[in-house]
Amino acid sequence: MTYKIMIVEDESLERKALKTIISRNFQTIDIIAEAENGNQAIEFAKIYKPDMMLLDIGIPEMNGLAVQKNIIEFLPSIQTIIITAYSSFTYAQEAISSHVNDYLLKPVRPSTLVNSIHNALMNIGEKKCIPCDILPEQLPENPIIQQAIALIKKNYMKDIRLDWIADNVHLNPQYLSRLFKRTMNASYSEFLTSIRLEKAIDLLLNSDYPIYRIANEVGFSDASYFCKVFVHYKKMSPHKFRTRTANRK
């Protein structure tokens, strides 16, 4: 499933940087609109109905908080991440009361924004992986997908992206993404995360590594995000999973 995001930022270089972070880290997000001012943001929100919005406060015509209050009147479930230079506690308080997901200060680190977007996706029911117990036992017949899966299984602990896999199997990334989804009934990012969770479970059961090390060993750069993904699919924390399994032995 693809999710729609709108960027509301009046600085073109800032918009370009945000688009780069999104395109490099999320294959299931489409940037459907870019607004340079408050009125344009509201107009685009009515037309495109985004699932998520990256929103600056200091934009022309109408400030970002007023935009948020207006948009949630007709898109109450929109997930909004404020990215601003305003560090005032008053602004942060008003943002919270306007149902904003996160309040990030410029300059924002890419990893911080990525984690914030992941959290927002989980709020709208984004499934970034398929359950480990339904991973296919046999490889698909398609030789290209076989190569892709072999690369994923060999490199899952690294920061591997779809375009890197595509380069190695000599395909266009967009075509590979569609082919993978059609063949595996799961997106590339879903499959990669499911492999990582499978390996994490093995380490939880067969090592005494702390949780942060397990997260790092299987390719999660952020331990807190690893825990959230684990809870989402196992319905318990990694620590509780390890303890409960150990008690059954």
Per DSSP, the three-state class of 161 is: coil
β strands within the chain, DSSP E: 3-8, 29-35, 52-55, 79-84, 102-105
pLDDT (tens, 9 = 90+) of the chain, 249 residues, equals 678 999 999 999 999 999 999 988 887 789 999 999 999 999 999 999 999 999 999 999 999 999 999 999 999 889 999 999 887 777 777 887 788 989 999 999 998 999 899 888 877 754 444 444 445 656 788 899 999 999 999 999 998 888 899 999 999 888 888 898 888 888 888 888 889 999 999 999 999 999 999 999 999 878 888 888 888 777 889 999 888 877 665
* The two three-digit tokens of residue 205, written as one number: 């059961």
Q: What is the DSSP letter of 7?
A: E
Q: Terminal CA-to-CA distance of the chain, rounded, Å?
A: 39
Confidence at residue 65, expressed as pLDDT on a 0 to 100 scale: 93
The predicted pLDDT at position 126 comes to 44
Q: Which pLDDT score, from 0 to 100, does residue 128 have?
A: 41
- Which H helix or E strand runs over 63? none
Q: pLDDT value at position 129? A: 40
Tell me the domains of the chain and their CATH numbers.
Answer: 3-123 (3.40.50.2300), 127-249 (1.10.10.60)
**Bridge partners, 84 (sequence order):** 105
Find tokens 């991973």 and name the residue: 135
Output the pLDDT for position 17.
Answer: 95
Write out the two tokens for 23. 């395109």
Neighbours of 146 (CB within 10 A): 14
Predicted TM-score of the model (pTM): 0.55
- Dihedral sign (CA 177, 180, 182, 185): negative
Q: Which of 87, 97, 33, 30 is nearest to 58 (CA)?
A: 87
Q: What is the pLDDT at residue 130?
A: 45
CA distance 163 to 159: 12
d(CA 109, CA 94): 23
- The pLDDT score that the predictor gives to residue 134 is 42
Other C-beta atoms closer than 10 Å to the C-beta of 139 total 11
